[in-house]
Amino acid sequence: HWKVLFDQFDPGNTGYISTGKFRNLLESHSSKLDPHKREVLLALADSHADGQICYQDFVNLMSNKRSNSFRQAILQGNRRLCSKALLEEKGLNLSQRLIRHVAYETLPREIDRKWYYDSYTCCPPPWFMVTVTLLEVAFFLYNGVSLGQFVLQVTHPRYLKNSLVYHPQLRAQAWRYLTYIFMHAGIEHLGLNVVLQLLVGVPLEMVHGATRIGLVYVAGVAAGSLAVSVADMTAPVVGSSGGVYALVSAHLANIVMNWSGMKCQFKLLRMAVALICMSMEFGRAVWLRFHPSAYPPCPHPSFVAHLGGVAVGITLGVVVLRNYEQRLQDQSLWWIFVAMYTVFVLFAVFWNIFAYTLLDLKLPPPPW
């Protein structure tokens, strides 16, 4: 479809069309385009210094595939746009106001906010964060009923016998490095994690998609358990704090790095509240770790998973959030952080295979 349309403006089959012809093409199809998207495309046409657009750029533009060159061109072309901001638009229904609110919560550039506002269709919906949250709540309720305890479940003598918990004696069971997120220390632990991943994770998934946000979340979860296996070798791990802290720290870092562009209301106050909540949860985890254990000699769950999540958030997470609809494989910083993460995972794997034996570490017995 796009090739036929492109060839109409490229009779010589050169692979290029002039920006003037591209503008004519947009004008002839203006009734089919959202007004904000049309502004973006016209800004791109104006920004091409050589006056030509190649076929691949044309396809990327018309099919919403945005490259790094697209971003640079838009940032130049955006200087020529004088249309009103999304916040000034009136007569929006409830769903349109929600989409606009999400755009201002997560995106620092007005041109990106307009593009998202026109492109978002809620298909698919933000299913990943909702599904993970429902599973965490379901497992917590099941354990609460079976143990007869909902507050500080982790102090129950049978708590660690669950096959989802990461335990240092059972570290060869690889699924435990991920499934520990479905076990929480108590309702106070679960409550804060659920609130943070819904308030922060769902809007981020609406903007960046389940694949990217799921990648950051799972990377934070895996980094959390691996960090514990390296830095707190005798402790078990429970809770989704590794994934939650990866998302929240990435979002907060993105706000700080784009402070002037972020237009969310009361951003300083909200950042302060988020940091206080994260600090309180981290403090609770530290206190619990060194509190006398209910199942000696095994200590209570480690707090190091929180730090692993933060490390993922301020590296991989920030690159994802700073590149809205850009191809990550075009970003050199993305590959640098992927390489760093891969090195860490490989190091942790070899550490788990050899270090426990070489250090002659006395581990707590299996929770049978």
Residue partners of 101: CB distance under 8 A and separation at least 6: none
CB 189 within 8 A of CB 242: no
| Pick from 116, 121, 113, 122: nearest CA to 86 | 113
Structure tokens at 195: 């609130």
* Known catalytic membership, residue 241: yes
Q: Distance (Å, rounded) from C-alpha 287 to C-alpha 264?
A: 34
How far from each other are the two terminal CA atoms of the chain, in whole angstroms? 63
Quote the radius of gyration of the chain (alpha carbons, Å).
Answer: 25
- Helix, coil or strand: residue 134: helix
| Pick from 63, 46, 47: nearest CA to 2 | 63
CB 242 within 8 A of CB 303: no
CB 42 within 8 A of CB 23: yes
Q: Which one of 47, 240, 241, 249 is the catalytic residue?
A: 241
Structure tokens at 98: 């929600």
β-bridge partners, 18 = 52
Q: Distance (Å, rounded) from C-alpha 342 to C-alpha 205?
A: 24
* Known catalytic membership, residue 306: yes
Q: What proportions of the chain, in percent to the nearest 5, are helix, strand and coil? A: 70, 5, 30
Q: Which one of 184, 189, 251, 306 is the catalytic residue?
A: 306
- Helix, coil or strand: residue 16: strand
* Amino acid at residue number 167: H
- Please identify every residue annotated as catalytic: 241, 306
